[in-house]
Every structure is written in structure tokens, then in C-alpha cells.
Structure 1
Amino acid sequence: MATDTSAPTREDRERQRASRGIRSRATSTPNGQQPSPPRRRRPALVAIGVLLIVGGAALAGLLALRLDAREPMIVVDRTIPAGTEITAEMLRTADVAAEGLNLIPVSEADEVLGTYARTTLREGQLLDTTMLQTSSPYPAGSVRVGVPLVAGKVPDGLRDGDEVRLIRVGDSTGSGALLGTGLILGSAEGESGGAFSGEGSGSSATVLVTSQAADAIVNAAGSDQLGMALIRRGVTPEDANLTSGGSVTGESVE
């Protein structure tokens, strides 16, 4: 009987198995495991991430707008001595964030005009309701006079709210005389030096005094015979101890 040469031999079968093993290893991972299929995206998590990003941006924008919510408020345009009646020329406006403060908006400007400064107001200061009062703080029978501040006859560093003695300075033939007590309300600076030190020409101050003492004080100031002595600091017009001549209380400087 003739041999069937078409049937695979043992060597052929081994070569076929070896060939299949090589192909299997070529498509496997280094540790012999088959590669895992690609992961599928989770649409719900992606949507939540997008919402968080958009919501955070919106919140940041809202906070930025809130912080920049500025409104026109009333600002002091010049130094205003305590007790001065407020007029439109003394004020200006500025846009500021005023939430939670007692600042006065421009819409209420009419309510400010005609009121009085409770304390000295400085230029650029934001005006609030605690700085004003509806009635004049000046004591009955008091007047305001302007006097020069002469170096050597007034203390250095005088400022608004200082209570002072007003003295007619004596010469070599006589002693000085107490004209009364007064309260420094404001000043006008001279060409040089401090407005309250008496340095420089033209320095002057507005002083609150009794009407009885006013004439004598103005006369002494006009003849360059007016001197001042500091009694105490931080006095309001309502608390000032105004006298005309006689004895003076509150000798120590506070």
C-alpha cells in the first residue's frame, strides 16, 4: 500500500503549535495577560464636573460684583471746625462701598445741610451721622473771634479743641490781665510754619469766647498784646468752660 504523504507529520504539528504560541505571546501583555478593553466614560460624572466649574465661575463673578458695589457718599471737602454749620460748599461726593456703615449717601444731602459739626471734620473724611447734630453746639452768649497767633505768645502745637486762657500781655510797667477763657475752633495757616505754633506771618485762629470778653480780646489782639495759655485738650463747644475775666478752673492740661 502506498504511504499518504498529504497527512501532517508530527514535526509539522509541532511547528504549527509553536507558530500559534508565538502569535499568542505577541498579542499578550508582558505578564502573559490579555490587555484590558478601554474604559468607557461616565457621562454623569462629566456633567457634574462641568456644572461645578460653571457654578464656581458664576459665584466668583457675583462676589466680585458685590465687592465693587459702590455708591456715591458725602465727603468733607475742607476742614470744618466743631460747631460750624454745614453748607453745600463744604462737601463733595465719592463712590465707596458703604454697606454696614453710617455713611450718608448723596440722596440724603438735603438732610445734612443746616446741621452742625459735632467735632472737627477733616478734608477728605467720609461724613457719617455720628459727626453731626441738628442744633448749634455753641453755648448761649458765646461768639467767635479771629486772633493772630504770635510766636512766643502762644503755646506750640495748639489745635482744634484746645481750651486756653486769653491774657493781655503786660509790659515792663505793668502786669498782664486775664481777659477770659476760650476754645480754639480752627485756624488759617500763614505763609510758613505751623498754623497753631505762631510761626510765620499771617497765622491765626478762630476762638470761641463769651460775648462779654470779645471786645477786650479783639482789642488786645489788634495791639499785639494777646497771649494764650493752654488749659486742657479735646474739649467740645458744649463742654467748654468759657469765662470773661475772673478766676479760671481746670488749670491742669489733660
Structure 2
Amino acid sequence: MKTQERSSAGVGRGAALTAPAGDRLPSPPRERKPALAALAVLLILLGALGATVLVMRAGDRVEAIALTKRVPQGQPIPDSAIKSVMVAEDSDIKYVRWEQRGLLKKYRSAADLVDGTVLVGSMLTKEKGLGPGKAVVGLSLKSGQYPPRLKEGDTVTAYRVGRESSAGGDDGSGDGSSGGSERGSGSTGNATIAEGAKVQSIKSGSDDSLASSGNLPVSVVVDKSDAAVLTAAASNGEVSLVLDSDGGS
């Protein structure tokens, strides 16, 4: 009897010890979310499509016109001052295309244009000539009568520089140091002739006649009220140009 109880007790303890192992809960099955997977695939496709569009847009380039030297306001743009450059096409920017370069002869610069500028339509105008109340005066300047780095488009002040002795200085009237004579006389002291003058053009020194004379031909735009005095002084070689602090770049 006792032996049966012990056996039953042993069997009961063994069953109690082994029962938890047999009653272990199975791991829950992995939940599938097809909507999230589809969204991830869609995002990947959109990213790839966006990258493709950017690459294609970067490849949409046009051949435009860029300047190789400065062109002052109101001046035509010569063939020697342009080159071809590739730029990204933009519907908001009206580039002047390289194939349109033949039309440049009909236009002038609407503003001072510097070297490296890529031309757009708003930079050009068909208006010719000078503004109201303006005149162009040609000068022939010797070394020392102009700044060494003078460029087209610079803003300068024209001064009368008195000669040390006038051509007919034996009459004593040509006091070159007095500085109190009138603007129109040929042997005066220093005086301002024209302020805010604009250098319109500077002729290259490659011409044989220029090389022989040693002078630099410069055309400046001045107020008409200053043109007569400046011309008279220029004819006597008594003009010196000084670069203004805000003139040119």
C-alpha cells in the first residue's frame, strides 16, 4: 500500500517537474504588413525617379554667349568680345544663344557689362546714341595724363594741366603756375574741366600710327556744357584724366 503511494507520489513529482516543458507557449507567428511593404517599395521608386529627373535636367544644357572683355553701356558687342559657354537650361532665364550671335550687331549693351558675363536679353537694347545732354569728346593722351589701368566704362574726372611754358611764352602772359586764368586759355594752371566723365572707348596701340605717336586715343562721354572747354584743352594737350574712386571695377 505504502509502496503504491510512494510510486504515485514519485510519478506525480516527475509529472510536476516535466509539465512546464510540455506546456511552453508557441511563439506568435510574425505579423505581415503588406501595406507598409508596398509603401517602402513606392518610396524607393519615387527616390529613383527623382534622381533620374535631376540627372536628366542637369543634362539639359544650352550653348550661350559670354563676354571675354568689358563692354561699356551703349556700345555694340563685337565678335572679338564673345565666346561660347554651356549653361543649364532655365525657362526663367532668357539666354542669348550662340546661334543668335549674328543678331548682336543690331543691339548695344544696356548697361556696363564685365568680362565673363553670360548674356541675357535684358542686357541688350536697340537704342543708339547718347543720353540727353551728353557729348563724346576724343582725347589723345600721353603717358602720365591717364591712369595706367584705365579701362572702358571707367568714371573719370578731366583736369586741365597747365604747361610749364606756353608756345609763345615770351610775352609773359603764360604764367603756368598762376592757376587763376580762364578755362579757354592755352597756358593755364590746373582746373577741373569735367566731372563724372565716362570712358567710352580706348583704341588699341597696335596701329602703326599710334605706335609712332606714343599717345593713347580715349573717347569720353561728358555733359555738353563741358564739351567745348574739354575739346579746347585736348587740342593743346592739356588734359589729364583721374580715375574716380567709384569708377570702374
Q: Same fold (TM over 0.5)?
A: yes
Unaligned runs of 5+ in 2: 187-192, 206-213
Provide the rounded CA distance (Å) in 1 between the counterparts of 2:93 and 2:48. 29
Q: How many angstroms does 1:52 deviate by?
A: 1.5
* Conserved 8 A contact 2:73-2:111: yes
Match of 1:23 in 2: 18
1:96 lines up with 2:112 in the alignment: no
Counterpart AA for 1:208: V
Q: Which has the higher contact order (CA 8 A, sep 6+)?
A: 2
Q: Which residues in structure 2 correspond to 1:119-138 (within 5 Å)?
A: 119-138=111-130
Unaligned runs of 5+ in 1: 191-201, 236-254
* Conserved 8 A contact 1:165-1:231: no
Going from structure 1 to structure 2, the CA distance change for 1:22 and 1:107 (only over 3 Å counts) comes to: farther
Matching residue within 226, 231, 243 for 2:239: 226
SS of residue matched to 1:9? helix
- Deviation per CA, 1:143-191: give whole Å up to 9, x if none: 563533533x45798662525436363334425855975641244799x
* Conserved 8 A contact 1:118-1:137: no
SS of residue matched to 1:127? coil
Q: How many angstroms does 1:81 deviate by?
A: 2.8
- Deviation per CA, 1:109-163: give whole Å up to 9, x if none: 3332331123332111111223221132346995563533533x45798662525
Counterpart AA for 2:125: Q
Q: How many angstroms does 1:75 deviate by?
A: 0.5
* Conserved 8 A contact 1:145-1:214: no
SS of residue matched to 1:113? helix
1:37 lines up with 2:25 in the alignment: no
Match of 2:110 in 1: 118
Counterpart AA for 2:11: Q
RMSD, aligned CA: 4.3
Provide the rounded CA distance (Å) in 2 between the counterparts of 1:218 and 1:91. 33
Give the number of aligned pairs. Answer: 210
Aligned residues with identical type, % of pairs: 20
- Deviation per CA, 1:47-96: give whole Å up to 9, x if none: 22112222123223323543564322211122223332223222112122
Match of 2:209 in 1: none
* Conserved 8 A contact 1:165-1:230: no
Provide the rounded CA distance (Å) in 2 between the counterparts of 1:146 and 1:17. 126
Q: Which residues in structure 2 correspond to 1:31-180 (within 5 Å)?
A: 34-66=25-57, 69-99=60-90, 100-138=92-130, 145=138, 147-148=140-141, 150-151=143-144, 153-154=145-146, 160-162=153-155, 164-165=157-158, 167=160, 169-172=162-165, 173=169, 174=174, 175=176, 177-178=183-184
Counterpart AA for 1:39: R
Counterpart AA for 1:124: G
* Structure whose alpha-carbon radius of gyration is higher: 1
Provide the rounded CA distance (Å) in 1 between the counterparts of 2:203 and 2:111. 18
